[in-house]
Structure 1
Amino acid sequence: MWQMRMLLKLSSVHVSVDCMSTPSLSPGLLQLLWFVRIVEAGSFAEAARRAGVTTSAMSKALARFEQKHGVRLLHRTTHALSLTDEGDRLLSQGRHLLDSLAQIETSLAELGTQSAVGRVRVTAPTAFARTCIMPELPAFLHAHPEINIEIQLGDEMADLATRGIDLAIRSGSLVGLPGHISRKLYSFPWVACATPEYLQSHGVPETPADLAGHTQIGFRNKGTGQIDNWRFVSPIDGKTIRYVPRSKHVFDDAETAWSIIRAGFGIGWAPAWLGLDDLRRGHVVEVLKDWRIAEEPLSAVRLEKRHTPARTQIVMDFLATLPSTWKI
């Protein structure tokens, strides 16, 4: 039984505690619990079998208890055990202690179940939430009616503690976030792209320098107020190239920017997940693929805590099941 296994571990380890710590269970109390299990099993051999120890170890543990306290708890014969008066008095107290341990185990189990119920607050980039999370969310909520979801849309790194956020979905580097833990969910490429019709009319760029002859569609980052640079890696020397787009059309909403790319008004640079269906169906095609930057990680960030509620873990596992590859 679990109590006996726990006792075996505790009896073999001496834990040092300071004066401000909760007192540990003494060896004498541990041996008292062994005594109760011997009585309940009806023999040393059966008690030892249930605990997964030898009969000798069980017998010696009880003998040490009796010797230390100067009492005899059991009359031992070849075929039977019987309680002494002292053993009879201690048995009820020992059973009370075991009952208390069992109640604690039940309470812990209930707490574990309850932690899988309740609200989980998630913050995620607006376009990612709408494009990748929301299409899959109804099926998840049907499968987990005990979980309540609150999704806050935004690209800034929120103060998770102040806003009561359980998980933040963020891309790129997460260095410099003390007190937080991140779990990589998947990675994705950024792609330069346009419609086949646009490229047929204006030509296909072969290097980033060729982009100067094309209509460019830019994205203004709400956090910085600046139009995002496009990034490439030279297939010749591996050097990173930051390209400053000369954008004819600029949007501060990623989905809106994609809709203009999709409508054939120019070349844009975007995360592949934003238009995955269009890219896979050929409605939009990638250009400068040989110059594509390394894939960027997308992670779930949470506050560093000793215990993560089961409901938060369930939601995090759900997010990790979203498409993990972005092959186009």
Structure 2
Amino acid sequence: MERLGGISAFVEAAEAGGFSAAAERLHLSRSAVGKAIAKLEQRLGVRLFHRTTRTQSLTAEGQLYYESCLRALDEIRTGEALLESGKQEIRGRLRLSMPVVFGRQCVMPLLSELMRQHPQLELDINFSDRRVDLVEDGFDLAIRTGPLPDDPGLMARKVANQAMTVCASPAYLAAYGTPRTPDDLLGHQAILYRRSSDALSWSFPIKGAAPRQVTPPARLKLDDLTSIADAAADGFGLAWLPCWLVRGHVASGRLVRILTDVPALSFGAHVVWPRTQYMPPKLRLMIDTLAERLAPMME
């Protein structure tokens, strides 16, 4: 308890800008706050504040420790909010953004079930393959697939892996043969996914080396994954698509997965949200639900 008291005094002093202001917030004397922080510094073996007769400011070590304390306090507040949420209905509005096809096919069934379980939960959903600015555009949460760039203003949690596969229709394979290696793809027609003006290469992991990038020749380039799957099923060429997207076509026999002995690339799927000191129960519920339920659907 003494340790927690020292941490509480430290955080208040860091946020209030000095010991006197922290003492007012905590209803303690300035001397009590100073002694609590001094004991904390002695225990940690570092100086947390630069002190003058009038001001106190964080040292570099103090800033690092302050950020760690904030993360710990976030978890405590979240735990309290979750306990409180058990006493009342999850309610309120959440704005979400997610990729179009992935969102419609994989995420929406989970969200529909969540809304049935929590009638007071309101969802405002944006389907877009554009990476929105969560803060500027006013979103509470976004789902993103592929590499996730560092952004100090965002928190992230991985919720699934999205494995890729090469596939083609039985008619195409009967007419043109079945590729056995990634290099064989260069002798076939493909249907490529185009983002902006560039068609994305197909990538195959190689242990201990950079992935093998292959761009097969293509008569057809599309910016919609569902249309690519349909075109491949109609025999227009090979396609490189997420396994979850072609599962139904494979089950029905319209598509055949090939190069199954070759290591497949897997993209991470993450939920991201603006960094905050407090996570509302509705946001925690959404993140936990996606983390628990989305991964099995990607297998």
User: What is the count of residue pairs matched by the alignment?
Assistant: 237
Aligned ranges 1:309-324 → 2 under 5 Å: 309-324=280-295
Aligned to 2:278: 307
The normalised TM-score by structure 2 is 0.70
Aligned to 2:66: none
CA distance in 2, matches of 1:276, 1:321: 21
1:157 aligns with 2:131: yes
Aligned to 2:43: none
Report deviation, 1:321. 3.4
Aligned to 1:275: 246
Aligned to 1:254: 225
3-state secondary structure, aligned to 2:198: coil
- Residue identity (%): 28
Kindly tell me: are residues 265 and 144 of structure 1, through their superposed partners in 2, closer, same or farther at Cα, counting changes over 3 Å?
Answer: same
1:170 aligns with 2:171: no
CA-based RMSD:
2.9
The amino acid that maps onto 1:129 is G
Aligned ranges 1:171-320 → 2 under 5 Å: 171-222=145-196, 225-234=197-206, 239-320=210-291
- Where does structure 1 lack aligned partners over 5 or more consecutive residues? 1-8, 28-107
* Residues 191 and 218, structure 2, Cα contact 8 Å, conserved in 1: yes
Aligned to 1:19: 20
* Residues 115 and 310, structure 1, Cα contact 8 Å, conserved in 2: no
CA offsets 1:44-68 (integer angstroms, 9 cap, x no match): xxxxxxxxxxxxxxxxxxxxxxxxx
Kindly tell me: are residues 306 and 110 of structure 1, through their superposed partners in 2, closer, same or farther at Cα, counting changes over 3 Å?
Answer: closer
- Where does structure 2 lack aligned partners over 5 or more consecutive residues? 14-18, 30-79
* Residues 261 and 267, structure 1, Cα contact 8 Å, conserved in 2: yes
CA offsets 1:173-198 (integer angstroms, 9 cap, x no match): 21321211110001121111112232
The amino acid that maps onto 1:24 is L
The amino acid that maps onto 1:300 is V
Kindly tell me: are residues 109 and 123 of structure 1, through their superposed partners in 2, closer, same or farther at Cα, counting changes over 3 Å?
Answer: closer
CA distance in 1, matches of 2:289, 2:3: 41
CA distance in 1, matches of 2:215, 2:157: 31
* Residues 161 and 298, structure 2, Cα contact 8 Å, conserved in 1: no
Per residue, is there more strand in 1 or in 2? 2
